[in-house]
Chain A
Amino acid sequence: MIRLPKHRHLAAAALLGGLALLLILLAATGRARITTDILALLPEDRRDVAAAAAMTQSRNAFFNDVTIVLSGPGSARADIENALAQLQEYLRSAPLSLSPPGARMAALQDIYKQNPFEWLTPQDRAALGADAVETMRLGLGVNLARPGNFDPADPAGFVSAFVTQLPAPNDDWTFLGDVPARVANNEIRALINARLTESPLDPAVQQQLSDLLASSERAVQRACEQCALHWTGAIRYSEATRKAAERDIKLLSTMASLGILLLFTLTFRAIRPLLVTAGTILSAILAGLATSFAVFGTVHVLTLVFGTTLLGLCVDYLLHFMVHRWAHADDSGAAALRAVAPGLLLGLASSVTAFLFLLFAGFPALSQLAVFSIAGLLTAWLLVHLCLPELLTPGTANNVVARLAITRVALSTKARLVLLAAIGMIALTGIPQLRIVDDVRGLQAVPDALSDDNHFVRTTLEGMPGDTGNADFVLVEAPDLDTALEREMQLLNSMEGPDGFGLSRFLLPQGAREANLRAYAALFENDGRQLRLILSAFGFRPALADDLVARYTTSTADVTPSATLLAQPAFDAQRTLLVTVENGVALMTRIPGDVRIPEQMPWARFIRPLEKIESTFSSIRQRGTIAVAAAWLLMLSILSFRYGPVGGVRVLAPALFGACVAVGFLGLAGWPLNIFSLVALILVLGIGADYALFLREGAAHIGTARLATTLAAATSLLSFGLLAFSSLPALRAFGFAISIGILTAFLAAPLALPLMAERKRASQRMDELDEAA
């Protein structure tokens, strides 16, 4: 038997004060952050570090990107330009960094022109290598004859040729001022790509940006009636999900609270049980939060939502104590606690065992959930022991109400079996229709307006360099940057079809740049004698030759390392394609169409991030299921030790049946089985086991045990069942599965009672009725 401290209230106050202090300290030191990034719940991939790092880098870039499209009819070009100016004015006050692609390209061209002899197309390098003098002479002649501009620093146009081969938008794209615009089908779409300067997960930043874009949309429409503004980005999805969650929490929690208030009022006719219950749940949440932040630092919002939900389990502890206390008002609080304590301890042990297994499943999502729930449940259990016996004193008038309620919840065993068989049969028909889906994107709440805007922006981006219509990429690994660039060039050259997009298209490896310099060698021998002859023949002053010879000499004396070039701001956009890992580097290369990597390139791998994420979620689901099954076997051993093997199975069977029925009904309703359904099933198993356990342990006072279980089921259905009406698909499926599972487990729970007790139950019930009368 557990020995309770003498000064129970002081101990409880110390516990809660300590937890509050811990939470404040963690918040003050920045170790109490909440994230909405669902992918942060995934485990680190230690088997494929390079791919994991590339995916993380790509995801981080995507997370901070905001893409805005201003569209209008081709006939309203002037109005669109005015509207665009208005929009740009508004965006200046947004937490965004705007870097027009024209300016980025100009900065790159400046880099190329600093050392013009290092940058050649493969064709020009081959031609120069074969006959540098004749190639220069022809190049110069052609460049002067073409009706285009002429840059003396690039007399034969070789750098220009290199620049024009860089990845560029297709012919549909032009510019409105410094903004790229797609002109097609008599429609103009101006594209603004921006990067957030503050966290996209910060609600204040989300609100600021959406308010600002709403204002700018009105300004845009004043300037151009036929124009429309479309925008997308992770920040908008995050805001939509957060707002939907907030709306749901407000609405559903208010409804659940009102329902529970009504239930408690009708049952106990007193406000104190409700206040004590609310206080205990809040304390459990406080403990869950403080412990999770202390262990993990950053906790996902879903951990909080699901964790708080799981803490609904602790209401059962309170209800069992309170119902017993109310039903046996003449007994002391300590006596009531002694009567229900074994059941509470077993309930706690079974839940903690299940969560401990989740903790060791090795996935951050499940680990966070487990730590949150274990800390919350332990705190609630402790508070029941420390505070409840003295806090709750029933009035005599309430006894009648409580006992009358008992009479209305009984159902004969036969009727129960028939009802359960019918439910089981219906659930069975749903099993074949059950789908297992691990792509969690479908579980996001995406408003139609956002979905339409996102589609509009994505279709606008078609034809932009690097846009392959998906997140797939080829990962080119190498021990160093130059080898990686060379390998990527080799890969891109081997590909048929449209050109790929990679860093080596913009930054030639040092070896290639040295080879380019060597290709010019014949022109610059003897102080550039051949070059001087050619330039002189076209009428150029000697000063131009002097300048070019000096540049060439400087370049060959000190070829800039690739890493130094890449570190320059002009390469900001391209730098995101490089991933640095422990044993070298990797380049992310985007290749449109079918990608078949030649066998002789073992250093290149095709990566499909979505497939990898799905596979990780699938893995979490499978390992979570195994962990829960293992926990159940352990619980079965513990319960078998107490009730014997058959008794143990009987206690656990109702919950298992409830979980199976929930799975069947998920199939019938067309909801997929995924990681969120798994959490729901864990809850059904935990709560269902508690119902049977409490009935079994309360067999001596079966009436009160049954009333407590009924109240527990009703509160659970009110709390979790209402989630079935959430606007978030993930919560909807979760609430639906829990409602069905809990209801079934509740109906099946009396089957866990020993046969003898079942026989005794009728006579005991009569006794209680007599007393009530």
Chain B
Amino acid sequence: MQDSAKEKDIYMEYANIVKRFLISLSGNVDLADDLTQETFYQAYKSIHRYNGNCKMSVWLCQIAKHVYFDYLKEEKHLQKVDLDTLDLFAVQNAKKSYGQVFWLRAYEEMSFKEIGEILGKSENWARVNYYRAKEWIRRRMESDENNL
């Protein structure tokens, strides 16, 4: 297969996962769109370094995380990140690590090992944070119901 065709296939298959991951990090849909493009640009440049040790989606999310952090390092961007666009009422208000871990587990259905790899933590860190996030959300929903 020609390289450009292969790249297009990878993009078609994984663009949504990468975009949703970037939304969960940044909380900003437009920014996530831009950073998704940047992520695939970086990925194509270093596709020869992908060795199949982790899933393609995990590899791409790791790149996306670096792209996002590079973006944040440019100080002028720090103010612009906007947290309301993701309408996940409970998760977006939780501790940031809760939101990310819960997102990757419950919505992207990744294993704790993969989540640890993406976020640069241990498998157990991911597991503990997932259950804490779940408990946080459960309580939050319970108190919302009581206030109706």
Tell me if chain B binds chain A.
Answer: no
